[in-house]
Structure 1
């Protein structure tokens, strides 16, 4: 299979990730649940993973690194910690349903800082305008999961600091791909998937909590600490980690993060963008294909969408799947992003890369797509 859907999950993992997850089944129990060897080893693995993440993202400390089930889980904690019912949040025009649905459940007003694709200057201006009357929070999708549009997060963060507005960063598509410094940004929370650019197993996510953040538990239950009291502990990470940890996932995530740190975030980004640029150039040569990218891939990562005037996006995705090429077609759980780009009715076909893709796969994809659009069997 040629796998070009890493914006959903990096299905291809470094070998060490699978090996670590397998060892966890045999060697790790649960941290904080005993003093025997398997429990101690689990606690050490969890701490090692928190420490690697803290160092990669310059978080305030390992204790401010919280394990979650996925980025959606992390975003729900962050949003419901700072946005009250009926409150107000300023969001970008490229947010995922993992942001818009929690806001809707709170009955919160969402002011959209709208900007065209690949125009970070206009995105910053939109956030400037939208926050002048204040807000309970600013929530920004750092990189669009549909179009790969990288928003000017450093400048948006500076704006939030100046206006004393808590910033929640959805780093689901940027963690492990673009440099992120939690301390320098001064964000209240940063949420990310473990199974995308960090190369961990599915079912892993991370919430980084700012030094002054006071998060509210989304779940209550056992933590292995302060068991006599009926309130969740007031310290992190225990306050947000109710129940048994996903140790195979955490062990795999640890190796994924180590892989990212060895490769280097900038190197990974450069490789993914080169593949995306090669793909965009090839797509532009196909009749009737519209590619959502600037010529130089400005303000964009290795995530690329396109549409064809010859075939519906879903039909293109299905035809590629029949030929063992994995892409994503449709609205990608982000209707707001499609509304912003004018593709809400059509959706798009998305190709997205990881450090484990190659130019050979790009050429095979382009050749296959050309055959499909020409009606060849």
Structure 2
């Protein structure tokens, strides 16, 4: 099976990640920060090493790196942590339901209002102008994806961050698709809250994610419990990372995540991005020359896009095409990709889209085989 569903989760994982998870089970089996015996202390030290590694990778203070179960949990921590007591938030129509649904829930129960800006295929200047126009006196947060998980469109994160600073508004970024593909320096780029998955471009195991704070922000908590510190107090600690890390962390997963980050540092992000975007563009241009193929972006060019895009075969639903590809030995994803508003903008809310997303392990020969198969399917 040739795997082109890396926007959902990267597969396969590097060997060192698999070995690190195994070591997490064999060597780091204590509960970190909960006991004084040597196994617990050794495990706590390992967790700290990975936290420090992630802090360096994302340009953050080590205590501002918070381990989560996935990007969804990180986004909920960020969004609700700022808006739990009301306010206005601005987001875009590229967003995943992990952004849209927490906002909708807050609007229903917590006196939150929101504005969704249509940024699909707009220029940077137009995007910035529309976001600026949407700012109100009660705007607390602007949150947007670094890059779409459907079209691959990248947003001008640093320019949006600058706009936020000018208006004293917090800025959160959904980096589920960009972490491990694009360089992210939260402090240098002006990002207040960066949320990402550990199991996608960071090549860690499932059940891992990160919330990385660029600044000292006291978030409201949506989950409280044991932290191993200040246990006599009924209130949650105010210091990080303990404030947001109630309960036992996924130690084996964190070990694997650390190995994934090391793998990326060895490979180099620039090299990874160029490899992946070249494969995507090869597939995009190959499909563009076929009859009955519908594409939804004008290009898949380096610099403007992430290595992911969708297409359809005219007259068929995306799931029908995905089933045919699966029978032919290719793993792609059909449907709405948990991002309904962009599919609405594309006019694909009824049929969905077939999504192709590559990783560092994919090869040109696999793209060639895919295009050969699509020639037959498209006819």
In the TM superposition, residue 207 of structure 1 has moved relative to its aligned partner by 0.1
Aligned partners of 2:280 and 2:300 also within 8 Å:
no
Aligned partners of 2:277 and 2:300 also within 8 Å:
no
Aligned partners of 1:118 and 1:150 also within 8 Å:
no
CA deviation vs aligned residue, 1:56-107 (integer Å, no higher than 9, x gap): 1111x11100000000000000001111455311001201100110011111
CA deviation vs aligned residue, 1:102-127 (integer Å, no higher than 9, x gap): 01111132211212326333222221
Aligned to 1:314: 319
Aligned partners of 2:284 and 2:300 also within 8 Å:
no
How far apart in 2 are the matches of 1:134 and 1:272? 41
TM-score (norm 1): 0.95
Aligned partners of 1:118 and 1:299 also within 8 Å:
no
How far apart in 2 are the matches of 1:370 and 1:284? 11
In the TM superposition, residue 343 of structure 1 has moved relative to its aligned partner by 2.4
Q: How does 1:1-377 map to 2 (within 5 A)?
A: 1-28=1-28, 29-59=30-60, 61-107=61-107, 108-117=112-121, 119-131=123-135, 135-295=139-299, 297=301, 299-374=304-379
How far apart in 1 are the matches of 2:378 and 2:149? 25
Aligned partners of 2:120 and 2:342 also within 8 Å:
no
How far apart in 2 are the matches of 1:316 and 1:299? 27
In the TM superposition, residue 211 of structure 1 has moved relative to its aligned partner by 2.1
How far apart in 1 are the matches of 2:132 and 2:312? 32
Aligned partners of 1:134 and 1:163 also within 8 Å:
no
- The SS at the match of 1:50 is helix
Aligned partners of 2:33 and 2:228 also within 8 Å:
yes
Gaps of 5+ in 1: none
TM-score (norm 2): 0.95
In the TM superposition, residue 344 of structure 1 has moved relative to its aligned partner by 2.2
How far apart in 2 are the matches of 1:118 and 1:266? 25
How far apart in 2 are the matches of 1:56 and 1:188? 16
274-283 vs 212-221, which moves further: 212-221
Structural RMSD (CA): 1.5
How far apart in 1 are the matches of 2:123 and 2:342? 14
Aligned partners of 1:160 and 1:166 also within 8 Å:
yes
Aligned partners of 1:96 and 1:334 also within 8 Å:
yes
In the TM superposition, residue 317 of structure 1 has moved relative to its aligned partner by 0.9
Gaps of 5+ in 2: none
Aligned partners of 1:283 and 1:366 also within 8 Å:
yes
